[in-house]
Amino acid sequence: MKELHYLDSHAHIMAEEYQEDFEEMLKRAEDAHVDRIMIITLSHEETMRALAFARRDPGRYKVAAGIFPEDVKNVSDEDWQVFEKTAADPEVTCIGEIGLDYYWEKDPEIRKLQREYFIRQIELAKKLNKPFLVHSRDAIQDTYDIMKAHHGRGLMHCYSGTKEMAREFVKLGYYIALGGAVTFKNARHSVEVCADIDENYLLSETDCPYMAPVPKRGKRNEPSYIPYIVNKMAEVRGVSEEYMAEVIDRNWTRFLEGKE
């Protein structure tokens, strides 16, 4: 049997949830053949810790840094300058997660500020020739409009919109990352999107420590649970898990390298 390689394109493994069993959690991922993990970091301090850690095995661990939509209201000019510098670090592979969150943010002024920082970070990613990872909650139309007007190389993380909208993102060359929701009984959209879109634009992620897939739903999530997600994706698409994992692996390489 061919060796499987799984991908977790969105993992918050520097989070305090893993302090107790960090090494064991990594070992479980390794045993489950989750061979590439994108570490998402949400603060300068977290980015620095992730960079130091990822040097252990740069082929396996990559680091993304971004200003999260919920944090834009606290960013000073100085913070932005520090962020710009960090983003330019060759060991920071992706810019993210960035985007819009209208679910948590109701204030129109702050929402406007979210859009400004989203655009700023997309433009920075483009200048640095790096891909970006997008968080979008209850804001799909604004997200789309910005990603169309400021077109670059990116993915929709934890995509929860309709399949029609997913098709529009794919038309612009954006990738769609699916996570635990695809295994949930009530998540019709995720399953429809998974079944519908061009396989060359599908990616897998955990968004751990949140969003654990069935049968771990409600528990702390971790990268070693990726096979549950890819197994479900394969089932939905009527292909073997081996085939699905291989397609995702190839898509990820293409995404990181920026080839069409």
Question: Quick one: 87 or 158, whose CB is closer to Zn ion?
Answer: 158
Residue 63 CA to residue 140 CA, distance in Å, equals 25
**95, 102, 160, 171: which is closest to 133 by C-alpha?**
95
Report, in Å, the least distance between residue 78 CB and Zn ion. Answer: 25
Residue 226 CA to residue 25 CA, distance in Å, equals 13
Report, in Å, the least distance between residue 158 CB and Zn ion. Answer: 7
Task: Map the footprint of Zn ion across residues 81-100, applying CB under 5 A.
Answer: 97
Report, in Å, the least distance between residue 101 CB and Zn ion. Answer: 11
CB-based contacts of 227: which residues, under 8 Å, 6+ apart?
6, 32, 33, 34, 241
Question: Quick one: 147 or 211, whose CB is closer to Zn ion?
Answer: 211
Binding mask 97-116 for Zn ion (x = CB under 5 A): x-------------------
Give start and end residues of each alpha helix (H) in 77-139.
77-88, 108-127
Report, in Å, the least distance between residue 34 CB and Zn ion. Answer: 17
Question: Quick one: 97 or 222, whose CB is closer to Zn ion?
Answer: 97
Binding mask 120-149 for Zn ion (x = CB under 5 A): ------------------------------
Cα angle for residues 37, 40, 46 (degrees, 5° grid) = 120
Residues in contact with Zn ion by CB under 5 A are 40, 97
